[in-house]
Amino acid sequence: MPAEWEPHEATWLSWPRREGISFPGAYDEVLPALVAMVDALGESELVRINVESESQEKEIRQILRGTDHVQFFTIPTNEPWCRDHGPAFITRCDAPRLAVVDWDYNAWGGKYPPFDLDEVVPTKIASHFDLPVFYPRLVMEGGSIDLNGSGTLLTTTACLLNPNRNPSRSKEQIEQALRDFLGVRNILWLGDGIEGDDTDGHIDDITRFIDRTSVVTVVEEDQSDPNHEPLAANLELLQSMRVEDGAPIRVVQLPMPPRLKKEGQRLPASYANFYIANSVVLLPVFGSPKDEQAVDVLQRCFPTRRIVPINCRELVWGLGAFHCLTQQQPAV
């Protein structure tokens, strides 16, 4: 599976439904962030959007600022989190060929039924392009893993070893599936995720590869914040980790935004939930003085890409941001 910063043919999205459960009573409020996301991707690559019907496609076309770079596919979904229910695109090393890994999907441990439409999205996308599909028969979400594209994968014990995913599989069996289906050989385990994350600790809210040997990881300076201790523990683990050839990992620290709550619930706001496109990086921001610091850190990490900060105070009510919404299709 190529790294996210490698060339894309397209970015996939699954458009939310007004009656869906991801944005209760707030569908109209999240539309500006969604429109800004699609607009920013337009200067970078093709955008392919799953919709439930022709009428939804028509509605979306009226909302977007332009659709010359957008293709629509009538592939209904329950919710919009394409990173988790969408295909994992893999490539052959010896030939320009694309394939799809279709993990089993149970909506983060069965938390949000129904998820029957989401579960079959990868195979439906593959059928549109006549791509081969591999079925590991393992519950997995795209946001639970991050790869450097040359053999190393990052994940968390909190998520992948949670009994609500694969209770009959051991850690060794899960690691073997990752090696078999994603072509990795070096698997690095962090611990817990951030407060408010209903995915049980997805890696894409805490630590991300930015090149083969470097990561950014979020840190919480406030020692009274529940995120301080687990993020400090993850930072300590990273400082002794190495990639597949034994090179040490370079660690760049990224701040956490201030605590963000809605209706008494802490939301999993994180600058780590950015998405790397061909020429831009979509960065969730939250109307905080720390937003500018996050932009500066990521601009140094991606000097050849434009950092696009987009306000996600409303979007994160769905407990995710741009990385959760997107899935890259590699160029072959």
Nearest Cα neighbor of 152 from 174, 133, 175 is: 175
Grouping H, G, I as helix, E, B as strand and the rest as coil, residue 183 is coil
The residues that are catalytic are 324
d(CA 251, CA 248): 9
Backbone angles phi and psi of 301, in degrees to 5: -75, -30
Beta bridge partners of 99: 90
Q: Are 279 and 306 in contact (CB under 8 A)?
A: yes
Q: Are 160 and 193 in contact (CB under 8 A)?
A: no
**How many distinct helices (H) and strands (E) make up the chain?**
11, 18
Q: 16: which DSSP letter?
A: P
d(CA 258, CA 59): 35
Q: Are 193 and 156 in contact (CB under 8 A)?
A: yes
Q: What tokens were used for 259?
A: 């605590």
